[in-house]
Copies of this chain bind each other. A is one copy, B any other.
Amino acid sequence: AMTHQPTSSHVIEGDPSSWKTSYVENATNLFNKDVPVCVKGGPDGASEKIEELTVRILLGLNKTKQHKVLRVQVTSDSDPFFFHSMEVSEEEFQSLKVEQSILVDFHQFPDKFIELLEECVASRGEANPRFLAVLRLGAEEGDDSALGVVETNKFKHLSHISLAFRPGDDASIKKYLAARLMDVKGERDVWRRSHGDASDELRDARAAVEAAAAEATAQREAARDAQAAAQARLDELAAKLKRSALEELENTKT
């Protein structure tokens, strides 16, 4: 399947009560993929099922544009209002590092996290997936959620990581959807332009096909004409030869 993997995504930050108090950021797309995620808990309680959710990891800057911020968004293609996200700045990462016994620094962390998510993708469809992403929803509406990656070996479940996530409220989902709309409008415009370019090239190529076909026809006719002209001269010469042969015969007779 033809997929368009943009290298950056829009993120809308700031006070979402008006557009003036918000700001748009272009964050680098480090990861943007559907991952099978086991969704657990939530107000419904015990329900637990594996869903294909989109995990997006974005590296951007904070409001002051001085510190790097890592954002992780978990969304669903089948539910536009489904939005769980977390963000951690380079500074905040220090406490996360201690809390989660992480041995790598802020800059190495995304790659390691992506490796774990790729393991989950690779385990897709397995009856007992070795690596499984788990999104644990809060017990009450609006409670924090948590995204983790669990490895299951013959001995035990091994939690590789567990990050605190926030479920989206109307304001944050509004910000997220507005940013996605900007992304997808950009993608649409790229495809529209590409289509325009391809259509132009197609028009030129079709004209070239016609020109080449006309040239081939002209050459075919030229070949036929040349053959006909040659044949005519041959016929003429053959007649001339015949005449001189007859004359010679006449001469020998006399």
Residues in A lying within 8 Å of B, measured CB to CB: 2, 4, 12, 16, 18-19, 22, 79-82, 169-171, 173-174, 177-178, 180-182, 184-185, 187-188, 191-192, 194-196, 198-199, 201-202, 205-206, 208-209, 212-213, 215-216, 218-220, 222-223, 226-227, 229-231, 233-234, 237-238, 240-241, 244-245, 248, 251-252
User: Which chain B residue has the least Cβ–Cβ distance from A21?
Assistant: B81
**Which of B188, B196, B230 is in CB contact (< 8 Å) with A184?**
B188
Main DSSP-derived SS at the A contact region: helix
Q: Determine which of B18, B185, B238, B245 lies in contact with A237 in the assembled complex, contact meaning CB atoms within 8 Å.
A: B238
A167 to chain B, nearest CB (A): 11
A196 touches which one: B2, B18, B169, B201 (CB < 8 A)?
B2
| Chain B residues closer than 8 Å to A182, beta-carbon distance | 80
B234 touches A178 (CB 8 A): no
Contact present for B79 and A19 (CB under 8 Å): yes
Q: How far is the CA of A233 from the CA of B241 in the complex (A)?
A: 14
- B residues less than 8 Å from A248 (CB atoms): 244, 248, 251
What's the Cα separation between A199 and B212 when bound, in Å?
20
Minimum distance in angstroms from A80 CB to a CB of chain B: 4
Residues of B within 8 A of A208 (CB): 205, 209
Chain B residues with CB under 8 Å of A241's CB are 237, 240-241, 244
